[in-house]
Amino acid sequence: MSHRVWCCLSLWLVLALLLIIRGGGVRAEFYSSVDSRQDLGQLELELLNATRSYLKAQQQQINLYRKFVEQLKREHVMAMDLIDLDEYLGHPLHAFRLIKRLVYDWDALHAPVVENKPREDYRQLVDSLSKEVGLPDLSELQGAVKGLARLQRVYNFTAPDLADGIINGFFYDSEMDWRDCYEIGVQLFDLGEHHRSLEWLQEAFRLLRANPEMKEAEKPQFIADIREYAALANFELGKPTRAGTLLEKVLQTEPTHPARHIQKYVDYRDLAGSNKHEKEPSWFGNYSRLCQGRRLPEKGSGTSLRCFLDGKRHAYFTLAPLQVEQVHLDPDIDVYHGILTLDQIDSIFEAADKQEMTRSGVAGDGGTRTVVDLRVSQQTWLDYESPIMKSIARLVVFISGFDIAGAEAMQVANYGVGGQYEPHPDYFEVNLPSDFKGDRISTSMFYLSDVEQGGYTVFTKLNVFLPPIKGALVMWHNLHRSLDVDPRTHHAGCPVIVGSKRIGNIWMHSGHQEFRRPCNLTSDSFKSVAYRE
């Protein structure tokens, strides 16, 4: 494969830089959470300041590097001018470029750091930042690219729109250049998403051809690299003729280009197994439509949903009744608005900041945690010992009527670039963790932030979508009164498009609720039989 366009480093410097980046102690996963990217943004700002000082001391840097630094300066000035830093870091295109710069662009900038004191000072600072915060690696860049591809898949976004800064019909001042599009195309190819890779490579080609800042004589070598990857993508999609045509165009202008080896590969490789397009799961159509805020066609049930004030649920709500919005009946899904104040939410964040955030996983055998791409977020857990968590526990008990004894600690989660949780139930049904006293009888989900775009909670089998509303609580039962699981409650967290989604989950267990939600004389599990897969 040919050299990376725009980036050419000597081998010894690459190895030295890898030692700096990988030798550090702490490294979080940055792409899956906006919270973790705040440290990353500050790290890049410190790198920027140190680099500018070094350039001033050396006074011999080439114009390419100086232009790069000024570009970063403008990026950070724009970010710092915003009222809320989350508004910048929560943008998927900003997030991609932030991680891409730290994976590739900063590597290229280290080449001129030669044997002198400014160089050593600079190296020591980078090493210190690496050990203190950790730097992203290639897996982080691929995670950010997966997030963009996920947004395209669920919301039907196109590469040209995203490259132009248009997201879901809204224009953001965040256009991408041809290098960004090329890198996304390369990473998607490496991830096996050849259709989407080709779309981004085509956009890179368009932007490069139209780039007024680059001399025409410089463009052919970069166009050749784009065509080389596009040829490989076409071949993997079962289009060998198109692949051969692209390679011929490369070799016509540059006969010694490494693409000549790719030509032999295309000529002799068996196409069997190529052009396999993974079929979407059966639930994806409903999931995608609901995530876009479009309900599925259905007949009316004859029962009207309503909003009302409830001051009789518990004496606690006599003077300040609950603001209840019914979003579904049987199973009941209710939204309680204005449950948490801004001060309470801030207190939850303060408590969560004292804990370590880790990548969210899904439950495996015996409740063991497994990290997979169907759930992309970071989380921590808060017990009910602090004043704020005691008050949260009381609210859940008063509203649900359940006993909180044996309930799990509150899970606080943050969703970053394309952060999501694909359709799933909250109950276990089998393989209950050994310390559980029964299955998860109910879910109480607090919305701890608004989300600018995306991040809906959707119930794919019930035609329900809920946009996050800061301070609100969503509550539903995961089990029938018979304690059989209710598959109608399969739900999902849609990918965050722009912004940051923060939620708090409390799961109550059935083991302590015998007299608070008693079973009927006959089982009511027949209601959900048709919804089982």
- Cβ neighbors of 114 (< 8 A, separation 6 or more) are none
182-198 burial: b if 16+ Cβ within 10 Å, else e: bbbbbbbbeeebbebbb
The encoded tokens of residue 523 equal 């089982």
Model pLDDT, residue 112: 52
Check whether residue 357 and residue 497 sit in a common domain: yes
Closest CA to 390 of 348, 445, 453: 348
CA distance 323 to 313: 11
Q: How far is CA 152 from CA 156, 200, 292, 497, in A?
A: 5, 11, 12, 10
- Identify whether 128 is part of a domain: yes
- Identify whether 97 is part of a domain: yes
Model pLDDT, residue 29: 66
Last residue of a domain, one of 71, 100, 133: 133
- Identify whether 274 is part of a domain: no
The encoded tokens of residue 236 equal 């993997």
Check whether the bond before 331 is cis (ω within 30° of 0): yes
Backbone angles phi, psi at 109, to 5 degrees: -75, -15
Model pLDDT, residue 318: 95
- Identify whether 351 is part of a domain: yes
Give, for all 533 residues of the chain, the pLDDT tens digit: 444 433 333 323 333 333 334 444 444 566 666 666 777 777 788 888 888 887 777 665 556 666 777 877 877 777 667 656 677 778 888 888 888 877 777 776 665 554 566 777 878 888 887 777 777 888 888 988 999 999 999 999 999 999 999 999 999 988 899 999 999 999 999 999 999 999 999 999 999 999 998 999 899 989 999 999 999 999 999 898 899 899 989 888 888 888 878 777 777 766 544 555 668 899 999 999 999 999 888 777 667 899 999 999 999 999 999 999 999 999 999 999 999 999 999 999 999 999 988 887 776 555 566 667 777 788 999 999 999 999 999 999 999 999 998 899 999 999 977 889 999 999 999 888 888 989 999 999 999 999 999 999 999 999 999 999 999 999 999 999 999 999 999 999 999 999 999 999 999 999 989 899 998 888 999 999 998 87
CA distance 163 to 186: 15
CATH number at residue 177: 1.25.40.10
DSSP 388-405: HHHHHHHHHHHHH----T
Check whether residue 423 and residue 512 sit in a common domain: yes
Model pLDDT, residue 435: 87
Helical pair 92-100 and 178-190, crossing angle rounded to 10 deg: 80
Check whether residue 89 and residue 147 sit in a common domain: no
Check whether residue 390 and residue 511 sit in a common domain: yes
- Identify whether 289 is part of a domain: no
Model pLDDT, residue 302: 65
The encoded tokens of residue 86 equal 């989350």
The parent domain of residue 160 ranges over: 138-269
Check whether residue 249 and residue 156 sit in a common domain: yes
- Identify whether 16 is part of a domain: no
Check whether residue 60 and residue 209 sit in a common domain: no
Last residue of a domain, one of 133, 156, 173: 133
Last residue of a domain, one of 103, 133, 163: 133
- Beta bridge partners, 323, equal 309, 337
Check whether residue 326 and residue 453 sit in a common domain: yes
Check whether residue 331 and residue 460 sit in a common domain: yes
- Identify whether 188 is part of a domain: yes
Q: How many domains does the chain have?
A: 3
The answer to whether 474 touches 447, Cβ cutoff 8 Å, is yes
- Identify whether 297 is part of a domain: no
Check whether residue 109 and residue 148 sit in a common domain: no
User: Helix or strand or coil: residue 185?
Assistant: helix
Check whether residue 331 and residue 382 sit in a common domain: yes
DSSP state of 355: S
Check whether residue 312 and residue 257 sit in a common domain: no
Check whether residue 227 and residue 146 sit in a common domain: yes
User: Helix or strand or coil: residue 385?
Assistant: coil
